Structure 1
Amino acid sequence: MTHIRTERGGAVQALNAAGLTAAAVRHDCVLVVTHPVGDLVPPGAVLVEVHGGRPAPDPSQVTGLIALGTERAVEQDPAFALRVLVGIAIRALSPAVNDPTTAVQALNHIEAFLHTLGRTVLHAPYAIADEHGLPRLVVPGRSWEEYLQLAVTEIRDYGADATQVCRRLRALLEGLLDALPAERLPAVRAELELLTASAEQRIGDPARRATALTADRQGIGGHLMSPPAGPTDPAGPG
């Protein structure tokens, strides 16, 4: 195995998969990219591993097929677009801003992103083969669980005690349960459990907690999706 290192650091913005695959075919090798698009790679770090190959490909040609820049870019990095939306939401939830409505609006876009991604085949990592079916390029990928955690973890951390945000986040997760394939659902259920636990820990008043744990796509004021179960009044109505 040969290591190809980058002379300069930077964020991995994109890679030329067709060019890297063609280089691997020419040299009869497998190229393994060690960092996913979006990673910040320090100078001198291994960027590609070369398995096989006689002779090994020219390092400068290989590194020239991977774009490094000063910051992440969205063209081949959907996680960065998601990261931006989450950043908007958590800034809105900071004590200095205190704008949960903006966080709810960001969750609207995050939900659309997750519904699309949840129906997409994801591989972590994924391999690209040549015309004969031989793997030639291996690229790191992200799993559904990683995307989902990115989408909701920090918003839950900063917004679980904000009624509007908690309700909208619950509606988002319950909507995913109704729409996505079965293999995606365990991670969604786990996030619902974490949301419930966070609200129970941080909202002391039972009535307010029950309100916060009711799913509502508008946060407050929309159609209630799942009123939380609670004890019934033994005296009955009236």
Structure 2
Amino acid sequence: MTDIFSLSGRRALVTGGSRGIGASIVELFARAGAEVAFCHYNDDSRAGALQAQLAKNGLTTHARSCDVSLEDDVDGMTRWLDASLGEIDILVNCAGIGGDKPFVDLSVADWDRMIAVHLRGTFLVTRAHFAKMVKRNYGRIINISSQLAYKGSPGLVHYSAAKAGIVGFTRALSYEGAPHNVTVNSVAPGPIDTDLTAGMSEQFRAMKMAQMPIGRFGRTDEIAPTVLLLASEAGSFYVGQTLSPNGGDVMV
């Protein structure tokens, strides 16, 4: 790995880091030299397995359970981070949930939970660290959105709205961060093989793959390098951007 992509000496937090895209980001950041902490939501088993796997390669990580939609949980995690790592340099807001439902069947509780985890969670965790990054005149914030922020999908109105909100949040906050060397960007993946897509029917998966120019769903390790770019000095000129590794899905 060339120096321009190195995260040596940097401290990073990845939310939703015990599985899926988050876990791939945790692993790649650790391999790039960062001291990495990640949070998960009541997923101690997978978090422990990821830490043990990385430890075999001499990579130490820090993990904690946290519901990013709850202010008290986020405040507690921030105090834990300050004590165990110190102030972070890189934040990746990756925590998210899935669940498809036709709009006519969508309850207020369904809507509120989706918005709370994706959008409120991104706000709460970013708020906990943004001012400290500004004060230190350094920070990298990467928010995980989705290509559905742009194209939408039947049955995923609440998910698409939450992810579109993250894109708007990213663009607006980038104006406030950039003068202080705090870059704010987002990544909008296409369909990826994760727990969120595992529940799709085989018929839907086959239809979706047939639509995509690349002919398949992506892997989580195909998304993490884009996040590394934005977190490293190689991405220092990206401000308020949304990069979309999506296999051509947005062209469909």
Question: Does TM, scored on the shorter chain, surpass 0.5?
Answer: no
- TM-score normalised over the length of structure 1: 0.36
- TM-score normalised over the length of structure 2: 0.34
The structure with the largest alpha-carbon Rg is 1
Which structure is richer in relative contact order (CA contacts within 8 A, separation 6 or more)?
Answer: 2
Instruction: Return the structure number with greater strand share.
Output: 1
